[in-house]
Amino acid sequence: MKEASRLRGLYAITDSTLLADGRLLPYVEAALKGGARLLQYRDKTGDEARRLREADALQELCARHGAQLIINDDAELAARLGVGLHLGQEDGSLAAARALLGRQAIIGATCHAQLPLAEQAAREGASYVAFGRFFQSHTKPGAPAANQDLLREARARIGLPIVAIGGITLETAPSLIAAGVHMIAVIHALFAADSAAEVERRAQAFSQQFNTP
Ligand SMILES: Cc1ncc(COP(=O)(O)OP(=O)(O)O)c(N)n1
Ligand SMILES: Cc1nc(C(=O)O)sc1CCOP(=O)(O)O
Ligand SMILES: [Mg+2]
């Protein structure tokens, strides 16, 4: 599949609190059934055995639903599983990760609201650049704020798919999609739900927003 079509649509990101107590796999499967194209495993526990077990199970789910698994922060785990990686500004060298994971791997970079960071990420081999946070975020309230005005310039200057993140909901996603982002990355508005069926409904609703002209 071509990179451009893989990197468009809903980008679901896991959260170890929201997806505790046996919810991880059924809720993620619901998001994938609802159309999520990328799934990021974001786990800050440092429990290596658990991380490997969960990432392995998520890889199997993604394969079954034609989605791509991305590991947050941990290049070694991504290399071990042969999947993608997302790196923030404090998470190590993007160029080294590209060398480790190879040319085909999807590697994303956090760029906050700074175009120079996105230009640098592009030079160092990123597959996509992520800007945010665009709205108040339950998950990461202290993330630096971004303004949608930067998206027009990003589209003109950065020849890579653009991911928007931070407080995105079914109500706020359309303005970002209209501004030309290729993917919307969502945690709370997708996974803070009472049932897997509700997660699937939300994922479908997010995904459908990419189909309307
Ligand atoms: C798609 C996407 N964009 C941004 C981030 C944030 O990454 P980072 O700044 O490294 O923060 P943590 O997620 O590690 O807390 C992301 N994970 N995914
Ligand atoms: C992990 C993360 N990074 C951000 C950034 O701005 O870089 S915002 C964020 C949290 C995204 O979760 P929610 O959809 O619940 O706001
Ligand atoms: Mg990080």
At 108 the three-state DSSP class reads: strand
The predicted pLDDT at position 24 comes to 98
Render 1-68 in DSSP notation, one character per residue. Answer: --HHHHTSEEEEE--TTTTTTTTHHHHHHHHHHTT--EEEE---S--HHHHHHHHHHHHHHHHHHT-E
The predicted pLDDT at position 2 comes to 43
Which residue CA neighbors atom 8 of ligand 1 most closely? 88
Residue 186 has pLDDT above 90, yes or no: yes
Q: Facing residues of 40 across strands? A: 13, 70
Structure tokens at 100: 């480790």
CA dist 196 and 24 (Å) reads: 10
The predicted pLDDT at position 85 comes to 98
Which residue CA neighbors atom 9 of ligand 1 most closely? 88
ipTM: 0.99
Note the pLDDT tens digit of each residue in 39-73. 999 999 999 999 999 999 999 999 999 999 999 99
Note the pLDDT tens digit of each residue in 135-151. 999 999 999 999 999 99
Pocket of ligand 2 (CB under 6 A): 110, 132-133, 137-140, 143, 165-168, 186-189
What average pLDDT does the chain have? 96
Single out the residue of 73, 42, 83, 59 nearest to residue 190, CA to CA.
42
The predicted pLDDT at position 125 comes to 97
Compute the average pLDDT of residues 10-18. 98
Compute the average pLDDT of residues 151-175. 97
* CB-based contacts of 35, cutoff 8 Å, min separation 6: 9, 10, 203, 204, 206, 207, 208
The predicted pLDDT at position 156 comes to 96
110 CA: nearest ligand 1 atom? 4
The predicted pLDDT at position 38 comes to 98
The predicted pLDDT at position 3 comes to 54
The predicted pLDDT at position 160 comes to 98
Whole-number Å distance, alpha carbon 111 to ligand 3 midpoint, is: 11
At 174 the three-state DSSP class reads: helix
- The rounded percent of the chain whose pLDDT value lies above 90 is 96
165 CA: nearest ligand 1 atom? 3
Whole-number Å distance, alpha carbon 188 to ligand 2 midpoint, is: 9
| Structure confidence at residue 1 as a pLDDT band (50, 70, 90) | very low
Q: Is 177 left (phi over 0), alpha (psi -120 to 50) or beta?
A: alpha
140 CA: nearest ligand 1 atom? 15
Q: From the annotation, which residues make up the binding site?
A: 40-44, 72-73, 91, 110, 137-140, 167
Which residue CA neighbors atom 7 of ligand 2 most closely? 132
How much is the pTM? 0.98
Compute the average pLDDT of residues 141-168. 97
| Structure confidence at residue 5 as a pLDDT band (50, 70, 90) | low
